[in-house]
C-alpha cells in the first residue's frame, strides 16, 4: 500500500461503514435500552441537521467528493443501534413471547443430546416450529432428567410439555461466555421437559436441517475414527480432534493451560487457519485432476459448507467461509479481490445476522488476527529480509537453498508477529496473560499442523475404505507429528513461559497506549517501505 492508496476510495467506504455499524451494536449492547433510545434520537437529529447543512453549504465548505462519508458513518452507527433493538423486537414475536409459561412444545433437535456438567440432565438445542398448536420459530435449550433417558438424535422431531424460562445474564465470567455463545445463535430460552415423545412431521425437506445433519454425521465419524487410530494415546486423540474439527471435550484444565503458555491455543480452536488449509488442500487436489480452472472453486464449495457444519458453525469459521465465498465470487465476476474489504464484509454480515456475535471471543480474535496479518505482514517481512538482499554465496544452488530457508523463517516470524500485533490487546483482555514464546513455537507448530490436518483427514477418509491402511500405515506419521506438539507442550507449557497481566491493564489508558503503539508501528513500517520504493524507482529511472 503506497501513499496514493491512502486516499479514500469506494472500497474504503465498506470498511468504515462496517466499523461504524459494529460500534453502534457494541454501544447498544453495553448500555441499557433507555439510554440507547435517547442516544439514538439525539444522533438521528444530528444526522438530519448534518444532511441539511451539507446540502446547503456543500459548495462553500466542502472541496472533496468524500464530504458525505461522515454522514454515512453516522447512519451506519444508528443502524447498528436499531439492529439490536430490532433483534429484541423480533425475539418478542418468536418463541420468547412464551417465556414464563408452561406449554406443549414441538420442534426438531439441532444438536446431539449430551450430559450437562453436573451429569444429572441431558441438554440439546431444539428448533421450535410450534407452541400450543400455534406456529412459532426460534431455538431453545431443552433439559431432561438423566433418569428419563434421551434416545433421540439430531434431526428427530419431538414434542413435550415444558416450562419456558429466559436465560439470565450471569455474573460469573465463565458462565457469561456460555451466555454469549448462546446469544450469538439467538438462543434466549430454556425448557425443562419430563418426558419427550416422537412427533410425525409432514416430512418437508429443509436445506439447513440437512446441512446440519450431514455436518454432525461427519463430525461423529471423525471422532470415532480418531479414537480407533489412537486407542492407547488419549492425549494424541484429544489434540487430533481439536485440530480437525475443534472438539475439545477430552481436554482437561492442565492441557488448556499448556496450550496457552506455549502460545499455540489457536491450533485447536477451529478458525480461518483450518479452513484455509482445507481450501488450499482441495484446490491443489482438484486442480491436479486437470479440472477446468473456473470449476475448481465451485467443486470445493460443498466441502467447505460441510466442514463449517461439522465444526459447529463457529463465528471464526463462518467469517473465513464468507471470505472464501467472496473470493470465489470475485473470480467468477473477474473482479479484483481485496482481502481487507472482504474481511470487513464478512464481519458485517455476521454481526448483522446475530448482533451478539460481536461479543464472541473466537470471532474477535479471528478478526483481529486476520486484520493484523493483512496490515503488517508484508511490511514486517520486507524489513526482516532487508539484510539478505545481496548475493553472499558463490554457489547458485546453495544460494537458492539459503534464500528459501531465510524466506520461510522470515514469513513464519512475520506471520506470528503481525498476528500478535492484531490480537495482543484482546488476548490480555480476555485471558489476562500472554505467552512469551509464541513467536518461537509457531515457527515449527504451524507447518506441523498443516501436515497433521491434511494427513488426518486423509486417514479418516481412507479408514472407511481400508481400515488396515489407516491403522498400519497412515497412523505412524500422524503419531510422529503429534509427538512434535506434545513435546512442545511438555517443554513450553510451563507457567514460566507466560506473563500474567492484571485485569486493570484493559483500562482506557492501556487501550489508548496499545492502539497508539499499533498505529505508530504501522506508520513507521509504511514510511520505511515508501522510502525504499522511491529509491528503487529512482534507481530504475537512472538505469543503475
CATH number of the domain to which 122 belongs: 2.40.50.140
Residues forming beta bridges with residue 122, ordered by sequence position = 115, 144
Q: Does any domain span residue 543?
A: no
User: Which domain-ending residue is among 92, 116, 141?
Assistant: 92
Q: Does any domain span residue 11?
A: yes
Residues forming beta bridges with residue 109, ordered by sequence position = 126
Question: Do 475 and 367 belong to one domain?
Answer: yes
Match 479408514 to its residue by C-alpha cell: 463
Question: Do 354 and 391 belong to one domain?
Answer: no
Contact status, residue 494 vs residue 261, Cβ threshold 8 Å? yes
Question: Do 456 and 425 belong to one domain?
Answer: no
Question: Do 175 and 323 belong to one domain?
Answer: no
Question: Do 350 and 275 belong to one domain?
Answer: yes
The reported pLDDT for the residue numbered 44 is 63
Query: Can you give the residue range of the structural domain that contains 527?
Result: 377-432+507-538
The reported pLDDT for the residue numbered 392 is 45
Question: Do 523 and 426 belong to one domain?
Answer: yes
The reported pLDDT for the residue numbered 290 is 66
The reported pLDDT for the residue numbered 415 is 84
377 exposure class (CB count in 10 Å sphere: 0-12, 13-18, 19+): middle
Q: Does any domain span residue 215?
A: no
The reported pLDDT for the residue numbered 462 is 92
Q: Does any domain span residue 494?
A: yes
Question: Do 24 and 39 belong to one domain?
Answer: yes
Tally: H helices and E strands in the chain:
17, 10
Match 446540502 to its residue by C-alpha cell: 55
Question: Do 411 and 471 belong to one domain?
Answer: no
Contact status, residue 525 vs residue 2, Cβ threshold 8 Å? no
Q: Does any domain span residue 213?
A: no
User: Which domain-ending residue is among 92, 117, 140?
Assistant: 92
Q: Does any domain span residue 107?
A: yes
Q: Does any domain span residue 205?
A: no
pLDDT tens sequence for the chain (544 residues): 334 344 456 667 788 888 888 888 887 777 655 555 566 666 666 666 666 666 555 544 444 555 677 777 778 888 888 887 777 666 656 777 788 888 899 888 877 788 877 778 888 888 888 888 888 888 889 999 887 777 887 778 888 998 888 887 766 555 566 777 777 777 888 899 888 888 876 666 667 777 877 888 888 889 899 999 998 888 899 999 988 888 887 888 888 888 888 888 888 777 777 788 788 777 777 766 666 666 677 778 888 888 888 887 888 888 888 888 888 888 777 777 888 888 999 999 998 888 888 888 888 888 898 898 888 888 888 888 777 655 444 455 556 676 777 777 878 888 888 888 888 888 887 777 888 888 888 888 888 988 898 899 999 999 988 889 988 888 999 999 999 999 999 999 888 888 877 655 556 677 788 888 888 888 888 888 777 777 777 766 665 5
pTM for the full predicted model: 0.81
Match 468504515 to its residue by C-alpha cell: 16
Q: Does any domain span residue 56?
A: yes
Question: Do 309 and 266 belong to one domain?
Answer: yes
Question: Do 131 and 82 belong to one domain?
Answer: no
The rounded distance, in Å, linking the Cα atoms of 480 and 468 is 18
User: Which domain-ending residue is among 74, 92, 110?
Assistant: 92
The rounded distance, in Å, linking the Cα atoms of 255 and 253 is 5
The rounded distance, in Å, linking the Cα atoms of 367 and 380 is 19
Question: Do 326 and 269 belong to one domain?
Answer: yes
Q: How many domains is the chain built from?
A: 4
Question: Do 349 and 461 belong to one domain?
Answer: yes
Closest residue by Cα to residue 72 from 17, 9, 142? 17
Closest residue by Cα to residue 162 from 137, 191, 135? 191
Amino acid at each position: 500500500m503506497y501513499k496514493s492508496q491512502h486516499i479514500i476510495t469506494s472500497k474504503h467506504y465498506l470498511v468504515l461503514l462496517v466499523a461504524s455499524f459494529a460500534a453502534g451494536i457494541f454501544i447498544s449492547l453495553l448500555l441499557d435500552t433507555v439510554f440507547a433510545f435517547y442516544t439514538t434520537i439525539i444522533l438521528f437529529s444530528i444526522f438530519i441537521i448534518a444532511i441539511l447543512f451539507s446540502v446547503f453549504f456543500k459548495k462553500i465548505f466542502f472541496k472533496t467528493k468524500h464530504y458525505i462519508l461522515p454522514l454515512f458513518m453516522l447512519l451506519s452507527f444508528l443502524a447498528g443501534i436499531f439492529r439490536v433493538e430490532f433483534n429484541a423486537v423480533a425475539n418478542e414475536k418468536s418463541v420468547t413471547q412464551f417465556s414464563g409459561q408452561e406449554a406443549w412444545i414441538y420442534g426438531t433437535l439441532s444438536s446431539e443430546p449430551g450430559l450437562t456438567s453436573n451429569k444429572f440432565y441431558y441438554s440439546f438445542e431444539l428448533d421450535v416450529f410450534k407452541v400450543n398448536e400455534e406456529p412459532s420459530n426460534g431455538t431453545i435449550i431443552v433439559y431432561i432428567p438423566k433418569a428419563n433417558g434421551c434416545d433421540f438424535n439430531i434431526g428427530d422431531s419431538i414434542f413435550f410439555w415444558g416450562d419456558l424460562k429466559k436465560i439470565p445474564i450471569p455474573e460469573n465470567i465463565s458462565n457469561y461466555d456460555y451466555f454469549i455463545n448462546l446469544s450469538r445463535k439467538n438462543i434466549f430460552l430454556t425448557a425443562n421437559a419430563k418426558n419427550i415423545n416422537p412427533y410425525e412431521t409432514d416430512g418437508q425437506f429443509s436445506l439447513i436441517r440437512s446441512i446440519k445433519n450431514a455436518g454432525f454425521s461427519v463430525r461423529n465419524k471423525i471422532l470415532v475414527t480418531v479414537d480407533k487410530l489412537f486407542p492407547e494415546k488419549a492425549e494424541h486423540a484429544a489434540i487430533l480432534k481439536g485440530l480437525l474439527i475443534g472438539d475439545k471435550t477430552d481436554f482437561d484444565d492442565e492441557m488448556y493451560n499448556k496450550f496457552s503458555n506455549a502460545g499455540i491455543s489457536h491450533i485447536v480452536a477451529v478458525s480461518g487457519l483450518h479452513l484455509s488449509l482445507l481450501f488450499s488442500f482441495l484446490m491443489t487436489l482438484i486442480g491436479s485432476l486437470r479440472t477446468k480452472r473456473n470449476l475448481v472453486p465451485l467443486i470445493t464449495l460443498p466441502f467447505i459448507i460441510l466442514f463449517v457444519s461439522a465444526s459447529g458453525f463457529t463465528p471464526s469459521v463462518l467469517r473465513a467461509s464468507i471470505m472464501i465465498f467472496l473470493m470465489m465470487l470475485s473470480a467468477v465476476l473477474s473482479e479484483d479481490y481485496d482481502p481487507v474489504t472482504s474481511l470487513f464484509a464478512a464481519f458485517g454480515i455476521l454481526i448483522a445476522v446475530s448482533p451478539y456475535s460481536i461479543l464472541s471471543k473466537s470471532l474477535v480474535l479471528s478478526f483481529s488476527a486476520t486484520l493484523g496479518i493483512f496490515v503488517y505482514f508484508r511490511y514486517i517481512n520486507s524489513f526482516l529480509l532487508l539484510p539478505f538482499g545481496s548475493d553472499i554465496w558463490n554457489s547458485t544452488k546453495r544460494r537458492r537453498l539459503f534464500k528459501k530457508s531465510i524466506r520461510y523463517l522470515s514469513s513464519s516470524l512475520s506471520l506470528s508477529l503481525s498476528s500478535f500485533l492484531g490480537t495482543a490487546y484482546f488476548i490480555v483482555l480476555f485471558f489476562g496473560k500472554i505467552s512469551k514464546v509464541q513467536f518461537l513455537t509457531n515457527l515449527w507448530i504451524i507447518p506441523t499442523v498443516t501436515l497433521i490436518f491434511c494427513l488426518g483427514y486423509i486417514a479418516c477418509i481412507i479408514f472407511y475404505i481400508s481400515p488396515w491402511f489407516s491403522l498400519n500405515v497412515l497412523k505412524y506419521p500422524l503419531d510422529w507429528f503429534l509427538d512434535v506438539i506434545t513435546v512442545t507442550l511438555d517443554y513450553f507449557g510451563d507457567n514460566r513461559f507466560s506473563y500474567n497481566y492484571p485485569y486493570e491493564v484493559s483500562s482506557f489508558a492501556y487501550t489508548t497506549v496499545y492502539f497508539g503503539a499499533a498505529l505508530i508501528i504501522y506508520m513507521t513500517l509504511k514510511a520505511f517501505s515508501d522510502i525504499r520504493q522511491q529509491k528503487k524507482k529512482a534507481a530504475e529511472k537512472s538505469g543503475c
